[in-house]
Structure 1
């Protein structure tokens, strides 16, 4: 047995053996023997993708120029069998690999006679695939929510590196094992770029995915209704303590849950016009930066209600009927108030479908002021005052206090439930009009025995007149004249007289009384003569004739005294 040293690796050597015996030798046949090749130089991964690995190595030491050298490459992932390839090159691309997977790669130098060197190993991951559908949405003024879909062919050991930066510098980094995360500690109203990288292992990162989002800007403060009228409301608010020039404001007005309109502005106030009177509106202000909105700040307010129109008050002696037309817009209710001498007498609140109210139990002949107030929410709007008066009560029944042939003195009871000094009386007769504060009147320069219709009304405030109280009264007729006897017998006396102003409807009452004053006879006649019969002879009688008008008004009676004659003896 012989051992050769100092040979080159991976070479083929011809070996002969010569037998020597003394001077004799015998050479054997030549035998081809090869040395084991040296292992390749260190393995170097020159390129990685999600499904391939490029491996490179150096020529094994002391084997430069060695013929018939090749390399066997085998690779395997955890839990799988090995795959092998052969190449004469110093590099090899492993294809159709699984993404984000840990591979162990072994390279052996294969020399002559298929002798293999000691193996050279390396381990490495293929790159993981990137996340899918990365989105960022503002959570608050200081945080953003990131979400994504796991990469295709995701592995349980994957993690995700989340990096974020503002426009100038990196801000932070975190690693998570879920497909979502919240990023806190950010500045309000600021734009951030977010990068999510799939990590299979340290140094084995997928292609980064990027997205961008703003944090929510801070909300405005001190939102106020600064001024309002029936169709416009002005809003004002304070800007944020970190206000940025890129901010704008979206101002929205809505009614009963439905948006009316919205506007964008860069100043801290806005006036909405063309609103409905008396309606409730909700106003919201949102700060906006690049389409990202802050939390909404809201307030509510009513516009002032409109004023009622065509208000009218119509009175009777104890009531006042108030009517009006509804204003434009919305009204919750109406409050109707009535005053007397600047003191409220009564008020009522009515539903918005009522346009009329009757005040009861008022005093007659009083001036009242009426006002109608429209109510919408906490706001009210009063109408102009309307003044009117109740009608006075009529005077009481007329009574004749005295009559003459040329005058009538009448009186009447004062009207009920009315205060002295608050009314007067108008007295009408024969087209004449007399105004007096007294409850009586003397009508003079009248004709005797004539029927007069006398009307009295109470005159109250605003010259309103009560219903009329009318009476018909005669002046006294003139007394008869020339009353005398036209013949006397023991049992009869014939009377005759004249009426200086005899008028249609006159009659005459003839009364005969005994000397003791007791009545003998009373009779009414229509002519100016009367024969009184049935008297006692030689007796003294009183004869009275009184002119009567048609209603029995009497003139001053005229009396004469006569004796009947005696019967002859």
Structure 2
């Protein structure tokens, strides 16, 4: 084609149908403003200047390179892991791609992962070690990688293991912890620091894994921290924390001032050495049926209500620190509620020598073993008694005198002899000749 005036027509297009052409008389050109990570078809043909006639085009296919990720960010650094994130390339929307994350240290230990997220956690790292990290964008269709983006980070040293409080007393605490398992061969000590809300702070250094903190204030919350310290540089780990409260003093003697059918009035003495320490009292009571309840009060007296009549209760009171909920040793007392009495004693079927008594059974006495004691008397005679079982709600009294006024009373009786208050009634028996009396009428119903 020497001596024949001609140019070259370069045409480029992608799968979305975007097509453009340029004419040049050079045998090279730069195709710009392309979409990253996209496959392009390119053709070049010769064009006669005189007629614009084109030759057969020569095609080629090419992929543009992917854009690199944005800035890398370290959000968290731990002794064996690093939380890493980065910005997605803004011009790669709709282009399938992943990210390759690679990290290595000065020992030549090198690892790599691929993810389609823009964040990851690098784990199983070596404590106190510097790591170089790179992230690049990878096209899913071709595996083509972008230029990597780099960052350097150093993992933290290992802290002590879990702190354990083995014993708590009023003025001392026994503390222990586990050595960091990945610090073998590295000379280190432990710094133990403790303080309270009054900013009283103390600290000791030890190469042991246990210590006793003494001369503490009773009923006081202490924050305790332990960190590992490198002997060579004095570099400290993140501290491990625990909170403990020295034991509160228990209440004084418990006192029962009043006992009723369904309630008990209880009081106790405040501990004398807890002044200035905010605290409450936890009162717990239960019976042999396993029914257990508890209340908390800042007073040194309370009324236990909704109890079962005729039931023995074990009651305990302990001091509770408001700041931590730590409880003292409880103080105990035992009491028995009063029995419920029968109600509405009525006299029916009055004859010359007998009457029938009827009553309402006492409430809330289900499951309590008891009997009824009936007492009746008239002028000139001593009182007489009759007993009937708890399933009865009536009784016939058959040994009365004609034409005499009688007083009747009934009460509930426990197996231990405890009695409820009495319920009473009065009536006159009929005079002789009024009414009919039969022996068979004398019975319990």
Q: Taking structure 1 as the reference length, what is the TM-score of the superposition?
A: 0.36
Highest relative contact order (Cα 8 Å, sep 6+), 1 or 2?
2
Q: Taking structure 2 as the reference length, what is the TM-score of the superposition?
A: 0.44
Larger radius of gyration: 1
Higher strand share: 1
